[in-house]
């Protein structure tokens, strides 16, 4: 077999990263994205562990570091804004530990797009409507574009993947809700602290603000809740829900809620993990959050996407485009690493969103203990080990 034309659904992080490697190995690549253009802003994301080696092999380390978010660390504050516990970025630096790269999601997506746009076809404001697999390829229809047939399709279109739904079945079969929701958006207010500040309130609620690289700050809201009947595309309904949930929280909640109506990048979703027995079905494969979303709580989503893109493209090249061999090897190499990356931090949702004032005080005390010198080595293992431990194969470039 010699499957050389690949259509990727999704122009976030995973899709353009895969496109970069596929073009290096001589594949013809098209990326289809349902939004009219690249999505700006978004939360800061981490490039950790093995993913740092991937961006190094892409020649992007210096560019990414130049656009990093300069954040001193995370701090929990009370209703008066007084710090109750803090975790400086250097707190867990131990032997052999290299600091994470932290960058706004929109900035990383732009850098990947700029690295690939010269020799990758990008189609914005469009999406796959149907796909039909045959012995010769995958026949695709689109919302806007003319139908086409390609050799392979990769869904890199997030935890709500349209590609996954078409090739594997409904979202409910693969997404496991974790019992909480989150929202974030950019505000015009400049950051004056350099810290990611978080304020917990009883009832499993947290509101926060963190610096970004553009002279503004990002607002963050999260709350524990069973499944809610709210349309994930109904921004007005989501904002009404958020305003009601945080009306009595105090600290800076009212100020941040007042800014969300004008935010260009308002995002609202539930916390969930994607669990699948296989990441491929015939000629269709999944990558990143579409295949294994670990949830934002782990901080591993971006790193896993970058590593997965490298391995999927490399195995397709090594197999001469034979997707049957490549997809099997892709899973063999990556599944254990993904499983480790999906492990939630201590306490899971309840640890991040303590329900009572007593639980909040206990969590603060636990963080103060973890950042103390006697326990710092243990904390290093807890926060860094999930991103390491995978040796990247070497693949020969053809161009």
Task: Tell me the mean pLDDT in the region 62-82.
Answer: 88
Q: What is the pLDDT of residues 193-238, one digit of tens each?
A: 788 999 999 999 999 998 887 777 889 999 999 999 898 889 999 9
Q: What is the pLDDT of residues 103-140, one digit of tens each?
A: 889 999 999 999 999 999 999 999 999 999 999 999 99
Q: Is the per-residue pLDDT at 376 higher than 60?
A: no
Query: Mind giving me the DSSP string for 21-50?
Result: HHHHTT-EEEEEESSSSPPP---EEEE-TH
Q: Tell me how long the chain is.
A: 399
Which tokens hold the place of 57?
């092999």
Percent of the chain past pLDDT 90, that is, above it, reads 69
Alpha-helical runs (H) found in the chain: 14-24, 50-57, 61-66, 105-116, 162-167, 235-245, 253-259, 289-292, 301-318, 323-341, 348-352, 357-370, 376-384
pLDDT at position 331 is 97
Task: Tell me the mean pLDDT in the region 364-368.
Answer: 85
CA neighbor of 58 nearest in space, from 310, 321, 395: 310
Sign of the C-alpha dihedral computed for residues 144, 145, 150 and 154 taken in this order: negative
pLDDT at position 97 is 43
What average pLDDT is seen over the chain? 90
The winner for highest mean pLDDT among 116-120, 342-346, 367-371 is: 116-120
Q: Is the per-residue pLDDT at 270 higher than 90?
A: yes
Question: How far is residue 108's CA from residue 47's CA, in Å, rounded to a whole number?
Answer: 10
pLDDT at position 96 is 42
Task: Tell me the mean pLDDT in the region 280-304.
Answer: 95
The phi-psi region of residue 196 (left if phi > 0; otherwise alpha if psi is between -120 and 50; otherwise beta) is beta
pLDDT at position 94 is 46
Task: Tell me the mean pLDDT in the region 44-71.
Answer: 90
Question: How far is residue 384's CA from residue 389's CA, in Å, rounded to a whole number?
Answer: 10
Q: How confident is the model at residue 102 (pLDDT cuts 50, 70, 90)?
A: confident
Cβ contacts of 379 within 8 Å, gap of 6 or more: 91, 92, 370, 371
Query: Reduced to 3 states, what is the DSSP secondary structure of residue 295?
Result: coil
Which tokens hold the place of 303?
């790193």
Q: Is the per-residue pLDDT at 99 higher than 70?
A: no
pLDDT at position 245 is 96
Rg (CA), the chain: 21
Query: Reduced to 3 states, what is the DSSP secondary structure of residue 186?
Result: strand
Q: What is the pLDDT of residues 167-187, one digit of tens each?
A: 999 999 999 999 999 999 998
> Which of these ranges, 29-38, 57-66, 98-107, 215-224, has the smallest mean pLDDT?
98-107
Q: pTM to 2 decimals?
A: 0.91
Q: How confident is the model at residue 323 (pLDDT cuts 50, 70, 90)?
A: very high
Q: Are 32 and 9 in contact (CB under 8 A)?
A: yes
Q: What is the pLDDT of residues 137-166, one digit of tens each?
A: 999 999 999 999 999 999 999 999 999 999
Question: How far is residue 293's CA from residue 296's CA, in Å, rounded to a whole number?
Answer: 8
Q: Is the per-residue pLDDT at 381 higher than 60?
A: no
Question: How far is residue 297's CA from residue 271's CA, in Å, rounded to a whole number?
Answer: 8
What are φ and ψ of residue 354, in 5° steps? -60, 140
Task: Tell me the mean pLDDT in the region 302-308.
Answer: 96
Q: Is the per-residue pLDDT at 51 higher than 60?
A: yes
Question: How far is residue 165's CA from residue 1's CA, in Å, rounded to a whole number?
Answer: 27
Question: How far is residue 243's CA from residue 78's CA, in Å, rounded to a whole number?
Answer: 20
Q: Which CATH code fits 5-69+100-173+273-345?
A: 3.50.50.60
Q: Read off the DSSP letter of residue 143.
A: S
- In the chain, where are the structural domains located? 5-69+100-173+273-345
CA neighbor of 385 nearest in space, from 100, 119, 182, 116: 100
More confident position, 367 or 305: 305
Q: Do strands 121-124 and 28-33 pair parallel, antiparallel, or not at all (unpaired)?
A: parallel
The phi-psi region of residue 282 (left if phi > 0; otherwise alpha if psi is between -120 and 50; otherwise beta) is left
């Amino acid at each position: 077999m010699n499957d050389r034309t690949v259509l990727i659904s999704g122009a976030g992080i995973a899709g353009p990263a895969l496109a970069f490697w596929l073009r290096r190995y001589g594949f013809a690549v098209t990326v289809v994205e349902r939004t009219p253009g690249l999505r700006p802003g978004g939360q800061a994301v981490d490039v950790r562990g093995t993913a740092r080696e991937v961006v190094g092999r892409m020649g992007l380390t210096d560019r990414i570091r130049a656009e990093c978010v300069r954040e001193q660390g995370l701090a929990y504050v009370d209703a008066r804004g007084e710090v109750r516990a803090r975790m400086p970025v250097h707190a867990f630096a131990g032997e052999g530990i290299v600091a994470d790269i932290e960058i706004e999601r929109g900035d990383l997506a732009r850098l990947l797009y700029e690295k690939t746009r010269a020799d990758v076809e990008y189609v914005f404001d469009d999406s796959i409507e149907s796909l039909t697999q045959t012995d010769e390829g995958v026949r695709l229809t689109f919302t806007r574009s003319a139908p086409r047939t390609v050799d392979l399709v990769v869904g890199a279109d997030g935890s709500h993947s349209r590609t996954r739904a078409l090739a594997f079945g409904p979202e409910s079969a693969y997404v496991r809700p974790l019992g909480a929701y989150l929202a974030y958006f950019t505000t015009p207010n400049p950051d004056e602290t350099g810290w990611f500040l978080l304020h917990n309130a009883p009832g499993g609620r947290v509101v926060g603000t963190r610096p970004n690289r553009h002279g503004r700050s990002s607002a963050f809201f999260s709350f524990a809740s069973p499944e809610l009947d709210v349309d994930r595309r109904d921004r007005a309904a989501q904002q009404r829900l958020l305003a009601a949930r945080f009306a009595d929280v105090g600290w800076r909640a009212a100020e941040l809620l007042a800014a969300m109506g004008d935010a260009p990048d308002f995002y609202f979703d539930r916390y969930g993990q994607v669990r699948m027995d296989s990441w491929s079905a015939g000629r269709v494969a999944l990558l990143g959050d579409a295949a294994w979303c670990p949830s934002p709580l782990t901080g591993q989503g971006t790193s896993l996407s970058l590593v997965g893109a490298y391995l999927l493209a490399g195995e397709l090249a090594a197999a001469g485009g034979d997707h049957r061999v490549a997809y099997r090897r892709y899973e063999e190499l990556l599944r254990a690493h993904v499983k480790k990356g999906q492990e939630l931090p201590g306490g899971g949702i309840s640890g991040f969103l303590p329900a009572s004032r007593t639980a909040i005080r206990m969590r603060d005390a636990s963080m103060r203990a973890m950042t103390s010198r006697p326990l710092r080595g243990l904390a290093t293992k807890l926060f860094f080990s999930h991103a390491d431990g995978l040796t990247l194969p070497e693949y020969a470039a053809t161009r």
